[in-house]
Amino acid sequence: MPLASSEGDQRLRNELATSATRHAWDSLVQIPTDSTFYAGFAALRSAFNTDEVKAWIRSKGMALDTVVVKPDSITGLVLSGRVGTRKTFTLNDDSGWWQVGARLRAAATALDRAGNGVAYVPEQSDRFSRNAVLQWHDITPPKNADELALVRGHLLAEEWSGWSTETKGRLQGSSLAARKTIDRLDERQYLAGCLADLVRNRPDDEEVSLADAQTPIGATSVLATDGADKAAVRDVLISHGFLVPKTAKEVRNVIRWLQAAVAPAPALGNYAQLLARPWAPGMLSENDKRLVAQFMRDDAISRSEPSLLRALDFQGVLDEHTPQEVRANADKILERILDQPSALNWGKAAARSLYFQGTSGTYDLSTLEAKQWELTAALLQIDPEMPRRPGNVAGYDIYQPANSGRTMASVRAEIETQLAQNTLLDPKTVPLAAHLLLASSAPEFLVRDIPSTMRIGSVEWADFRLGVTFAERQGGPGCSRRMSYTEIMGLSRLSTSTPGEAAVLDNYGIDVLLDWGLMRGLYEKPVDGRYTQQHHLQAITAFNEECEQLVYALEQFNLPLPIREDSAIRNLQTVFPGLSAEQLKAMRVYIADPDERRNMKLSEPRTRTLIETYMTGDLTRDRWMLLAPGEQPPQPARRTSPFVIPRLSASDQAAVDANVQALNARIAHLPDVQAQLPGEVDAYLDKLKQGLNIATRRMIAQLPLADRQALEWGDVDLFALREATDSVPEIDVTPEQVEERRGRKGTLIRCNYNGVISYFEVFPDKLLIVKREDLPRDLALGGTFQTVPKTYGPWAVSALPVRLGAVEPFDFAAYSSNALPRPGVTSPGVIIDKLGETLHATPVSVQGEASNQVPNSFSSPRTRSIVDRIMQGNFIHHRASVLKVAHGMLPLEQKREILRRNDSILLSMIPFVGAVIDLTKGNIVEGMRGLIIDTAGAFAGGAFGTLKPLVKSTKAVAPFGVKAFRVLEKGVEVVSGFLNPLDGAADLMAAGGKGLVALPKALGRASNPSVLLKLGVVEEKLRTCLGVSNQLQAPHNVQEQAVQPAIHNGHNHSIPVYAVQTDGRWYATHPKTGLPTGTPLDGFKALPA
């Protein structure tokens, strides 16, 4: 790229001052290749014309030459015949724009300072918007003839060829930042590809040398000395914040970090950017909140409608949508309401009434700051106590134990029901209010495409919440609502490399872990809301125990079904060491005694395979000689007389005898494979029962609280379903016939708790529990009897009872096959049998209202009793059937059929994988690569095959909940601070997301500030590894002041703060500019100098 020169800048100025300013409307100007502006222009043009971006634009049906990119959106014309429709995609929708457009947005932002949008630039074009060029040079574009003359005069009077180094550096800054962003994105992509090639097909524990590896770098890289376009991989990794990996496992973790993505945080963040509890410099104080309420009471616009959301909707945007549409498109609708000129003026007026100063250090607010004030006032009107603790929405406690086991959709509906009781809100502002409140108190509710099966309080939910926290802390408040469930869970694959990084995740996970423990019934919520070390330890212990049991269950589901042939091969390999299964299958045995061969039936083979002979029990001593592959047994000489039987030569006979004796020695050490098989099948079934036991207890623990209470403390009966034995008298019915008709795939539970009858259908291998509310209070057990004639001989007719089934309201196909239960289905000929005696009610062991008590259902003795009875009395596999399969020589396809459900359970049990993996095919779907990482390199190479090889050669990458929810190793002092955010110790960790880093406040209350400072540095390092370190920077358009006011150190109501005095009022200073910001301090006292 040509170097910028004074001549190039002067030529650009001349065109702007002459031909480009002949009229007020915008036009295109030629950009000289040696102008200062050209570097940013070239970056934008290149970003527009990448294959990835153009393919995405075309996939949306937009014509390239109609595309306009704005900070948060891309718009283009979709042509259908001669009719064109303008279509817009934003960072908030599921179009994929935020993922594909990162480079283009960075380049456009550098040139489009006003945010008006930049149009598509063809690959060979050298022309660009006049207005954008003027704004980039800090000149306001003309709107009319008078302004046109002023701009032309200004341009003619200014010499661009004589810019100072400072001026040129300021102008180049934004373009340089964009180029750096694009270069780093490119470098991350190159690095991931290079590292993937290095570890392809290599086991995790193998050491990897990066000594000779090179990767492309950008021109803005610190490594691009002397025009270098490549650098050592290890050096590029270090420049991106990574430690140099030493093993294939560590390399794969780096790849996951390089491929991970966090959505750009929206400008309005979590909508509560001016609110903080406790107060922080730059935020509204309690007195400010009262003044905001007073302003709305006195303001005519605010009084014109019941709610401010309605009052600011001057164009009736809400009236254009149904409540469902408002809920689904809340961000877009909010933006349309807030962006109306009258609404913006209202926000500025509200701020001015409190003498608020923005980032410019003046009362002149930006559009963004005006919107922040609109939102702040709306939030305070809905809930004057904003901001509340995480999980509290206008007084509704989301993480209360009563919500355990409920879907997120049902809890969201209950939140809206409570908000609807607020007389200020109507059916259309209720979902909008819920959206605003959830964004700061429980942002996980706003993530897209959450599985309907997600249960609050489950292990999966805990890790999902942790993923949201990770995204919000790393990318900035609000970024998670631009992401899908799949993208959030992609972050769960990331592992830390240092204790400091682990401490950051510990900080992210403590609130989630404590809420999980509360919902699991491990402890009651403290009266003062303050948790202790003991609470934390209880939660950690229980979480880790549950995770360990789930992992154990995975291992049991991965066990192969014992097959007689497999057992035979395994036994033979002990006496034939070093031989593979294929080699053993090629070996044969031959009847050694010629007399026995001569007297055998013609149908009996003289030569058989070694494995088959062993399996049938025919491999006995002194009978067989062993033949290697291709070997033929020795033959006697040709028969010369009918009276003489040919014999082997002495040497051949000696060889045969030696062969038989050698085989005898091996046979002596072989167990009876047929006698061995039943024990192996029993062991297999026992382990499968253990795995299903854990999975079923997990399902019960995820039921709603009321159901868990009923099962824990009520009378419980269990029932099995079977089909009637067709017209067979009861006296002739055999146990085998009963078993053949038993519905082993499901068990019915009846519970009587406080006089309320509840029924649950439990399908262990479907990982499904269905609550039935349509069944009668009492069931008809045992069927009915009908007397039928039975003839046992001539003239011997007897009247015998036959047990008949009835039409019952159950889908028996779900009980007897892999089919899912269908609602409303009845089945004929069904008999209901009780399994064991009633499990009688147990008293609530803790004090207080029983309805408020939370059982620890996963680990309780009652749950174990229920599940043990299911496993022992109605296990999904009948032993005799499994033994028959294990004993028989079945084709592989039939063998797979009996294991198919185990495979499904296996992957469903892996947290989060069930939602994004095709369970029966074992391949990744929904674009979520790498949730299971092949230890031999399948991740890097994408070599996912069939299910069994995948599972056997892989290990599940633990969601980082498992990594973060553990005993902290950083010391009790830090842990104590993290447990109770009001102590202030964790404030530093969250400060980056508030827009203003309240460092004095955080350190003033922290018991160990040096530790927290280190963790803050580590958190920023993680942002570098994730490639989002530039997303939380201060805005570039902060106005400069000629004279900086004197900054004073002091306290505002005991909180440390740096302040300046302006217009007779004290203001906190912006930590990055030193300018006054926020509302006046109402209690500032300067410390002595």
pLDDT digits (tens, 9 = 90+) for 972-1029: 334 444 444 433 333 433 433 332 233 333 334 444 545 555 666 777 777 777 777 5
Tell me, yes or no, whether 906 lies in a domain: yes
- Give the residue, 363 or 552, on which the prediction is more confident: 363
From the list 926, 950, 927, the residue with the least C-alpha distance to 937 is 950
Least trusted range by pLDDT, from 321-325, 591-595, 789-793, 859-863:
789-793
Secondary element (H or E) of residue 719 = strand 715-723
Confidence label for 164 from pLDDT (cuts 50, 70 and 90): confident
pLDDT of 341 > 90? The answer is: yes
Burial of 123 (0-12, 13-18, 19+ CB in 10 A): exposed
From the list 433, 429, 437, 511, the residue with the least C-alpha distance to 470 is 511
What pLDDT is stored for residue 249 in this prediction? 92
Tell me: do 829 and 680 sit in the same domain. Answer: yes
858, two tokens:
């996963």
Q: How many CB atoms lie within 10 A of CB 1079?
A: 22
pLDDT of 729 > 50? The answer is: yes
438-455 pLDDT per residue, tens = 999 999 999 999 998 889
Tell me, yes or no, whether 691 lies in a domain: yes
Rounded Cα distance between 43 and 182, Å, is 8
Confidence label for 263 from pLDDT (cuts 50, 70 and 90): very high
The answer to whether the beta carbons of residues 124 and 117 sit under 8 Å apart is: no
Tell me: do 717 and 730 sit in the same domain. Answer: yes
pLDDT of 818 > 70? The answer is: yes
Tell me: do 587 and 724 sit in the same domain. Answer: no
Contacts with 538 (C-beta within 8 Å, 6 or more apart), sequence order: 517, 522, 523
The answer to whether the beta carbons of residues 562 and 886 sit under 8 Å apart is: yes
919, two tokens:
């369970």
- Please report, rounded to a whole number, the percentage of residues in the chain having pLDDT higher than 70: 85
What pLDDT is stored for residue 899 in this prediction? 52
Tell me: do 401 and 316 sit in the same domain. Answer: yes
Q: Give all strands of the β-sheet with 1048-1052 in edge-to-edge order.
A: 1076-1077, 1065-1069, 1055-1062, 1048-1052, 1084-1086
Tell me, yes or no, whether 548 lies in a domain: no
Question: Which amino acid is residue 917, in one-letter code?
Answer: I
Question: % helix / strand / coil in the chain, to the nearest 5?
Answer: 45, 15, 40
pLDDT of 497 > 90? The answer is: no
pLDDT of 1045 > 90? The answer is: no
840-891 pLDDT per residue, tens = 998 876 555 566 789 999 999 999 999 999 998 888 776 777 777 777 643 4
Q: Which of 397, 424, 446 is the last residue of a domain?
A: 446
Least trusted range by pLDDT, from 110-124, 209-223, 834-848:
834-848
Confidence label for 169 from pLDDT (cuts 50, 70 and 90): confident
The answer to whether the beta carbons of residues 30 and 17 sit under 8 Å apart is: no
Q: Is the dihedral of CA 361, 362, 368, 372 positive or negative?
A: positive
Q: Which of 417, 446, 475 is the last residue of a domain?
A: 446
Q: Where in the sequence is the domain holding 1069, given as residue range(s)?
A: 1048-1086
Confidence label for 966 from pLDDT (cuts 50, 70 and 90): very low
Q: Are strands 827-834 and 715-723 parallel, antiparallel or unpaired?
A: antiparallel
What pLDDT is stored for residue 395 in this prediction? 95
Q: What is the pTM of this model?
A: 0.79
Tell me: do 326 and 433 sit in the same domain. Answer: yes
Tell me: do 746 and 664 sit in the same domain. Answer: no
- Give the residue, 927 or 896, on which the prediction is more confident: 896
The answer to whether the beta carbons of residues 458 and 495 sit under 8 Å apart is: no
Tell me, yes or no, whether 30 lies in a domain: no
Mean per-residue pLDDT, 446-469: 90
pLDDT of 494 > 50? The answer is: yes
Rounded Cα distance between 1028 and 1016, Å, is 15
pLDDT of 123 > 90? The answer is: yes
Mean per-residue pLDDT, 781-789: 85
| Residue the block writes with tokens 């079923």 | 696
What pLDDT is stored for residue 869 in this prediction? 93
639, two tokens:
């028969």
pLDDT of 943 > 90? The answer is: no
Tell me, yes or no, whether 384 lies in a domain: yes
pLDDT of 8 > 50? The answer is: yes
Least trusted range by pLDDT, from 391-395, 632-636, 926-930:
926-930
pLDDT of 911 > 70? The answer is: no
What pLDDT is stored for residue 700 in this prediction? 95
Secondary element (H or E) of residue 608 = strand 607-609
- Give the residue, 712 or 986, on which the prediction is more confident: 712
From the list 344, 334, 364, 340, the residue with the least C-alpha distance to 352 is 364
- Give the residue, 826 or 1053, on which the prediction is more confident: 826
Mean per-residue pLDDT, 822-849: 86
pLDDT of 7 > 60? The answer is: yes
Question: Which amino acid is residue 153, in one-letter code?
Answer: G
Instruction: Choose the most confident range, by mean pLDDT, from 276-290, 725-739, 1043-1057.
Output: 276-290
Tell me: do 859 and 764 sit in the same domain. Answer: yes
- Length reported for the chain: 1089
Confidence label for 921 from pLDDT (cuts 50, 70 and 90): very low
The answer to whether the beta carbons of residues 877 and 457 sit under 8 Å apart is: no
Rounded Cα distance between 251 and 263, Å, is 24
The answer to whether the beta carbons of residues 862 and 749 sit under 8 Å apart is: no
What pLDDT is stored for residue 178 in this prediction? 87
Tell me: do 297 and 423 sit in the same domain. Answer: yes
Rounded Cα distance between 455 and 302, Å, is 40
What pLDDT is stored for residue 795 in this prediction? 64
Mean pLDDT of the chain: 83
What pLDDT is stored for residue 540 in this prediction? 87
Mean per-residue pLDDT, 299-319: 95
Assign residue 587 a region: left if phi > 0, alpha if psi is -120 to 50, beta otherwise? beta
What pLDDT is stored for residue 863 in this prediction? 96
Give the count of domains, the chain: 6
Tell me, yes or no, whether 18 lies in a domain: no
Rounded Cα distance between 440 and 117, Å, is 29
What pLDDT is stored for residue 1036 in this prediction? 43
Tell me: do 357 and 412 sit in the same domain. Answer: yes
The answer to whether the beta carbons of residues 121 and 44 sit under 8 Å apart is: yes
- Give the residue, 362 or 645, on which the prediction is more confident: 362
Tell me: do 732 and 854 sit in the same domain. Answer: yes
pLDDT of 962 > 90? The answer is: no
- Please report, rounded to a whole number, the percentage of residues in the chain having pLDDT higher than 90: 51
Confidence label for 708 from pLDDT (cuts 50, 70 and 90): very high
The answer to whether the beta carbons of residues 474 and 1026 sit under 8 Å apart is: yes
What pLDDT is stored for residue 849 in this prediction? 59
Q: How far is CA 1068 from CA 373, 595, 1064, in A?
A: 18, 109, 13
Tell me: do 806 and 749 sit in the same domain. Answer: yes
Rounded Cα distance between 562 and 887, Å, is 9
What pLDDT is stored for residue 165 in this prediction? 80
Rounded Cα distance between 291 and 429, Å, is 24
759, two tokens:
């029924």
- CA gyration radius for the chain? 37
- Give the residue, 635 or 997, on which the prediction is more confident: 635
Tell me: do 578 and 714 sit in the same domain. Answer: no
Q: Which of 446, 481, 509 is the last residue of a domain?
A: 446
Tell me, yes or no, whether 1006 lies in a domain: no
From the list 618, 524, 628, the residue with the least C-alpha distance to 576 is 628
| Residue the block writes with tokens 């933006």 | 335
Tell me, yes or no, whether 577 lies in a domain: yes
Contacts with 791 (C-beta within 8 Å, 6 or more apart), sequence order: 797, 798
